[in-house]
Amino acid sequence: MEGTLSKSLSKPILHRGKYGKRLKLKGIRSISQTPAKFMKRRIATQRNVFHHPRLNKTSTTPLMVKTPVKRLRAASCMESPVKPMYKKSIEDMKSLSLKEAPLQIYKKKKGCCLTNDNIIKLYIARNKDLGYKNFMPSQINLTKFQRYCYTYSYGRRICFQKCGFGLNCAFEISRIILATPNISRLNLTGNRLGNSGVIALSNAIAKNKSIISLNLSSNEIRAEGAKVLLKSIEGNNSIIELNISSIGMDTKNRIRALGIKPFTSLLQNNKIMTFLNVSGNNIGKEGLDYIIQGLKHNRSLLSLKISKNSLSGECMTELFETIQHTAIIELDISGNPIGNLRAPEYTEELMMCTKIQSLNISDCNLTNHGLDCFFKNLSHKEGNLNTFIADKNDFKSCFSQKLIRFLSSNKALKKISLAGCNLGSDGVKSFCCGAVNNLKIKEINLARNMISDSVVYHILKPLLMRGCLLESLDLSDNDIGDNGGLLLAEVIEENRIIKKINIKNNLIQIEGGKAIRNALFNRQRCNLIMLNLALNPIDMKLSQEIEDMIYDNKIKSKKDTTSLKYEKMDYRNDEEILKKTLKEIERRKRDSVAEQQRINQYKIQSVKEKDKLVEEEKLLKKDELKQKMASAVVNHRLQDVNERYAKSHNSLVKAISRYEGSAKHIASGVSQGDIWGCFRPEIWA
């Protein structure tokens, strides 16, 4: 009966076998009689196992998920109509929403910049680029493609590595870039975009101002496409990382010198480009000259990788001379046949490049003479070189003392790699003599150097010393036997810092393996999270025990890291509280300082006022003295006036008395009739 389920399906039967739990449903005759919501993983080899499909409103396509029994029982009472498996037209497929499309089986990653329509269009374009006749999306492949998209293209990044993208996908990605202006990283490594695809992307990149990282390595790009790409980047002031290198694939970029020519103006005008990788493009001396001309006026580039570009020692002299005046701190010139001929010249120029922190000269056809020049000049180099890689250069078992000086003098060195250099016993001993004087090295790679048990002691001896900070040691593909295994077990038991040891493809047998197992077992707290013993003649059971112990260490380290995270969170909370208290203390200090400044100002003002009062008192005293002096003068004058007044008063009194006497005399003369006698001079005298 179509659209319903029989009673026999209400309780599905579980069978346990080779593949774990398997669901076996009996009595099913058609797709419509199956539960409507869930299905079991496909097992093609079992005929009696039914692929339990999911039926919805738009499709009856089976979805590859594991189904719990309880959910399957709950779904067994549901009904769903049966419709065709795939849509017939591209327009109908594009018009599907996320809820209706078969993509709904895989949960969309939060923050993914690709929509359901973008994924469907990209998948159809990819099928066209790969030349499939039926480019309509199949359910299984479409689900896998969606899983890939949501796994790697998350946040603000778009990442499609080795997906077979061509011109059609380039057009779709350019539309996505223009429609979503917040994309920051674009990684299309190992595709087949070609010149036409890169030109299509360049138009969108020129208009986008948010992309900061662009990786188009191994995309069959030629000179024409590179020119258009570099011109579009020249006007874009947001890209800080550009990778157009060629990895070892069949889709290599072949830009050569003609395509590198726009780098001159790009490096001169772009003030934000920081990381540049043009490795494997066979640019030669002519292409390097274009880059050097651009570097002469560039102060923003920090990393330059030009490996495998057929560059000679003469080119290195010009390059190092130019780098002296730039800000480059990472330089990769590996895979270039620079040789020993010009080694004294270009190493002297390299000695003046004091800003370089990472240098890679692997596979450069260097022998004793060339490496001696490197070690001699780098030992006198003033700077902070922390990474030195010189793999695949032939020392021919003859070594100088200059490596000892190099290791002893460069105290900032953290990583050194001399893999495949044919060091031999003498070279390893010289290396160890220098490493003993520099215990700050954290990573050493001495793989493929014919190291035997008689020499391995010198390598492992520094690991037993206090103050050794080595975390990673690679001794793979050597001739280390059981004696070396015993020494390694002692290191594992005593050293508390080392985390990774690689001794793959050596001659360690059961005795050395047991010693390593016992060391791991006896050690209470082990930070060792990687110990590679592959391709050693050790018993499988013993190697499995060692792997289990290392796995336990990994889990413990993860727990420790999680506990450390929580402790860090607690510390952060405590730090925040302390910061708040410190801020409060600082605020109070500032307030107290401000109050003290105010008090000091008041004191200064009071002192000034006191000085003013003292000056005023002095002025008042002066005024009082002046007034006293003036009053004394006035009193003296008053005394003089009084004396004069008294004299004049006395004279007046005398005169009046005289006048009175003369008046009496006249009056008596008048009374006696002698009027003229009154006017005699004697009387008036």
SS (H, E, C) 40-53: CCCCCCCCCCCCCC
Tell me which amino acid residue 169 is: C
Q: For residue 85, what is the DSSP state?
A: S
Segment holding 500, helix H or strand E: strand 500-502
Amino acid 245: pLDDT: 96
Chain mean pLDDT for the chain: 80
Where b means 16+ CB within 10 Å and e means fewer, 26-39 reads eebeebbbbbbbbb
- Sign of the C-alpha dihedral, residues 164, 170, 174, 179? negative
Q: What is the mean predicted confidence (pLDDT) over 379-401?
A: 81
Q: Tokens 């540049």 — which residue?
A: 276
Per the model's pLDDT, the better-predicted residue between 94 and 598 turns out to be: 598
Output the CA angle 413-297-318, nearest 5 degrees.
60
Gap between the Cα atoms of 559 and 288, Å rounded: 50
Q: DSSP per residue over 271-303, as a string?
A: S---EEE-TTS--HHHHHHHHHHHHTT-----E
pLDDT level of residue 80 (50, 70, 90 thresholds) = very low
The C-alpha atoms of residue 448 and residue 454 are separated, in whole angstroms, by 16
What local confidence, expressed as pLDDT, does residue 78 receive? 34
Query: Does 52 or 574 have the greater pLDDT score?
Result: 574
Encoding tokens for residue 211?
């992309």
Contact present, 504 and 532 (Cβ < 8 Å):
yes
Res 487 pLDDT > 50: yes
Which of 102-116, 517-531, 663-677 bottoms out in mean pLDDT, i.e. has the lowest?
A: 102-116
Mean pLDDT of 266-291: 94
The Cβ of residue 178 has, within 10 Å, a number of other Cβ atoms equal to: 14
Lowest mean pLDDT among 228-232, 329-333, 477-481, 644-648: 644-648
pLDDT at 682: 57
Report the pLDDT averaged over residues 82-86: 35
Residue 673: CA count within 13 A, CB half-sphere: 0
State yes or no: pLDDT of 72 exceeds 50.
no
- Please state, as a whole number, how many other Cβ atoms lie within 10 Å of the Cβ of residue 76: 20
CA atoms of 509 and 516, how far apart (whole Å): 11
Query: Span 108-133, mean pLDDT?
Result: 84
Please give the residue that has the higher pLDDT: either 472 or 74. 472
DSSP 452: B
What does the alpha-carbon distance between residue 196 and residue 177 come to, in Å, rounded to a whole number?
A: 17
Is residue 133 exposed (0-12), middle (13-18) or buried (19+ Cβ within 10 Å)?
Answer: exposed
Per the CB < 8 A criterion, the answer to whether 457 and 487 are in contact is yes
Model pLDDT, residue 583: 84
Please give the share of the chain, as a percent, with pLDDT higher than 70: 78
The span from the CA of 405 to the CA of 399, in Å, is 13
In the prediction, which pLDDT does 239 show?
A: 94
Partnered with residue 444 across adjacent β-strands are 416, 473
pLDDT, position 89: 38
**pLDDT of amino acid 288:** 96
Inform me whether the pLDDT recorded for 316 exceeds 90.
yes
Per-residue pLDDT averaged across 460-483, rounded?
Answer: 90
Question: What pLDDT score does 287 carry?
Answer: 95
Surface-to-core class of residue 649, CB atoms within 10 Å of its CB (0-12 exposed, 13-18 middle, 19+ buried): exposed
In whole angstroms, give the CA distance from residue 128 to residue 142. 14
Contact 111, 154 (CB under 8 A): yes
Say what the pLDDT of residue 576 is. Answer: 80
Neighbours of 555 (CB within 10 A): 10
Highest mean pLDDT among 63-72, 98-107, 141-150, 576-585: 141-150
User: What φ, ψ does residue 642 adopt, rounded to 5°?
Assistant: -65, -40
Amino acid at 120: I
pLDDT digits (tens, 9 = 90+) for 580-626: 888 888 888 888 888 888 898 888 988 889 888 899 888 888 888 88
Tokens of 17: 């076998």
Write down the pLDDT at residue 32: 35
Contact 647, 655 (CB under 8 A): no
Residue 14 pLDDT level (bands cut at 50, 70, 90): very low
pLDDT in tens, 405-448: 899 888 899 999 999 998 888 889 889 988 888 888 999 999 99
Burial class (CB in 10 A: 0-12, 13-18, 19+), 421: buried
Instruction: Write out the DSSP string of 152-207.
Output: HS-TTEEE--SS---HHHHHHHHHHHHH-TT--EEE-TT---HHHHHHHHHHHHHH
pLDDT exceeds 90 at position 471: yes
pLDDT of residue 277 exceeding 60, the answer is yes
Q: Is the dihedral of CA 234, 237, 238, 241 positive or negative?
A: positive
The whole-number pLDDT of residue 578 equals: 79
Q: Mean of the pLDDT values across residues 91-111?
A: 45
Residues in Cβ contact with 337 at an 8 Å cutoff, skipping those fewer than 6 apart: 310, 311, 312, 364, 365
User: Contact 327/271 with Cβ under 8 angstroms?
Assistant: no
- Which among 214, 266, 203 has a CA at the least distance from the CA of 245? 214
| pLDDT reported for residue 527 | 82
Q: Kindly tell me if the per-residue pLDDT of 59 is higher than 60.
A: no
Q: How far apart are CA 459 and CA 647, in angstroms?
A: 134
Please report the pLDDT score of residue 630 as a whole number: 87
* Backbone dihedral angles phi then psi of residue 241, each to the nearest 5 degrees: -135, 125
Nearest Cα to Cα of residue 276 among 194, 217, 190 = 217
| Greater pLDDT, 459 or 677 | 459
Beta bridge partners, 359, equal 331, 388
Sole residue written with tokens 């300082």: 593
Per-residue pLDDT at 101 = 42
Greater pLDDT, 39 or 644? 644
Whether 672 shows a pLDDT value over 80: the answer reads no
pLDDT attached to residue 3? 37
Tell me the residue length of the chain: 685
Residue-wise pLDDT tens digits, 566-576: 666 766 777 78
Q: Find out whether 211 and 244 touch, Cβ atoms under 8 Å.
A: no
pLDDT of 210-249, one tens digit each? Answer: 999 999 999 999 999 999 999 999 888 899 999 999 987 7
